[in-house]
């Protein structure tokens, strides 16, 4: 069965009109579901040919638009029982769970008459966006990812919407390796003793095949270099290196009842980190170069399953993880 563009438009409008008109009318919705000869069953049910084609013709945004229209009519995020049964099927098939669809539509997940009104949900959504913008501005001005203890007032606002600092950073669009250039600078007047310590650090890096992590450096050496350079990133910058960074920074930095589980020390698991590989052997280096050329030609990063297994294994062994293989392509 093939629906013309005109037919699709007519059916979509008819479907949307029926769904919105039934919004909040629980008894009518139940009657529609029980009556197998109803319009919703004959034309829109996923068990009918027309319904299957109509469902496939709907784009995500079109279904979410209908959901927002229902919310406008009810003045709150709709619960499942407040919508026509067939629309509920479309939404759950497309978005898996009802709360996911509400969130995608920009509606409160507190659905039903006991939930927030539409205006309340819109006000909170605007507040959330403003808070994330403030967080992003702080990161851009400071040149590094802010820590919760550096902005307690902002952290209190963020707690209202997020249970972890990492999720807030992600939603604010702050990547983990974006701000390095703003936080490093050459120190021209390093003395002989400081250069000796940096050369020692460089030797450790060559041995490890990457920049060392905090716990891999003698505490006294680290302290003296930090005092002189200001940050670990800037210490490494003096010898042409970048620090190991987490793929999901602050992912385990909780803002809810799990705050007492937050770890103060740096992660030691390299599988969850990005870092520049220094001592890559020739076969892996050739693989990486070929992969770079393919990515440039295709205009996108290669998918893991598109890379021949021997090549993938060599690169993962050299880089520690597939995520870090892709990181080598970006630096």
For the cut 80, the answer to whether the pLDDT of residue 144 exceeds it is no
pLDDT digits (tens, 9 = 90+) for 224-271: 999 999 888 899 999 999 999 888 878 778 887 677 666 654 556 788
The per-residue pLDDT for 189 is: 92
- The dihedral of CA 181, 281, 267, 322: what is its sign? positive
pLDDT digits (tens, 9 = 90+) for 185-214: 899 999 999 999 999 999 999 999 999 998
The per-residue pLDDT for 49 is: 87
Q: Is residue 297 within a helix (H) or strand (E), and if so which, with residue range? A: helix 282-298
The per-residue pLDDT for 29 is: 77
Both tokens of 78, joined, read 């709709």
For the cut 60, the answer to whether the pLDDT of residue 113 exceeds it is no
Secondary structure class of 241 (helix, strand, coil): coil
The per-residue pLDDT for 260 is: 67
Average of pLDDT values for 17-25? Answer: 89
Task: Report residue 317's pLDDT band, with 50, 70 and 90 as the boundaries.
Answer: very high
Both tokens of 258, joined, read 């799990």
Domain boundaries, the chain: 5-104, 118-179, 280-330
Percent of all residues in the chain with a pLDDT value above 90, rounded to a whole number: 45
> What is the chain's percent helix, strand, coil content, to nearest 5?
65, 0, 35
| 276 close to 210: Cβ distance less than 8 angstroms | yes
């Amino acid at each position: 069965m093939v629906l013309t563009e005109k037919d699709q438009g007519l059916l979509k409008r008819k479907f949307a009109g029926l769904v919105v008109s039934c919004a909040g009318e629980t008894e009518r919705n139940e009657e529609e579901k029980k009556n197998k000869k109803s319009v919703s069953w004959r034309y829109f049910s996923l068990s009918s040919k027309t319904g299957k084609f109509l469902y496939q013709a709907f784009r995500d945004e079109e279904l979410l638009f209908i959901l927002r229209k229902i919310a406008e009519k009810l003045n709150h995020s709709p619960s499942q029982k407040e919508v026509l049964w067939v629309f509920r099927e479309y939404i759950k098939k497309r978005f898996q769970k009802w709360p996911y669809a509400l969130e995608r539509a920009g509606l409160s997940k507190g659905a039903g008459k006991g939930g927030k009104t539409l205006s309340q949900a819109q006000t909170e959504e605007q507040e959330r966006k403003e808070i994330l913008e403030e967080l992003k501005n702080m990161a851009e001005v400071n040149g590094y990812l802010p820590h919760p203890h550096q902005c307690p007032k902002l952290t209190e606002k963020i707690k209202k919407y997020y249970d972890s600092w990492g999720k807030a950073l992600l939603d604010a669009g702050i990547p983990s390796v974006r701000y390095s250039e703003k936080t490093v600078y050459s120190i021209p007047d390093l003395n002989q003793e400081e250069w000796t310590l940096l050369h020692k650090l460089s030797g450790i890096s060559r041995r490890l095949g990457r920049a060392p992590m905090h716990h891999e450096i003698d505490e006294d050496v680290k302290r003296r270099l930090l005092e002189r350079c200001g940050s670990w990133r800037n210490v490494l910058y003096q010898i042409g290196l970048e620090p190991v960074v987490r793929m999901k920074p602050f992912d385990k930095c909780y803002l809810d009842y799990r705050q007492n589980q937050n770890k103060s020390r740096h992660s030691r698991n390299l599988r969850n980190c990005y870092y520049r590989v220094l001592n890559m052997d020739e076969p892996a280096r050739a693989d990486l170069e070929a992969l770079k050329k393919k990515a440039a030609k295709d205009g996108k990063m290669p998918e893991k399953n598109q890379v021949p297994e021997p090549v993938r294994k060599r690169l993962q062994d050299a880089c520690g993880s597939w995520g870090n293989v892709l990181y080598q392509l970006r630096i």
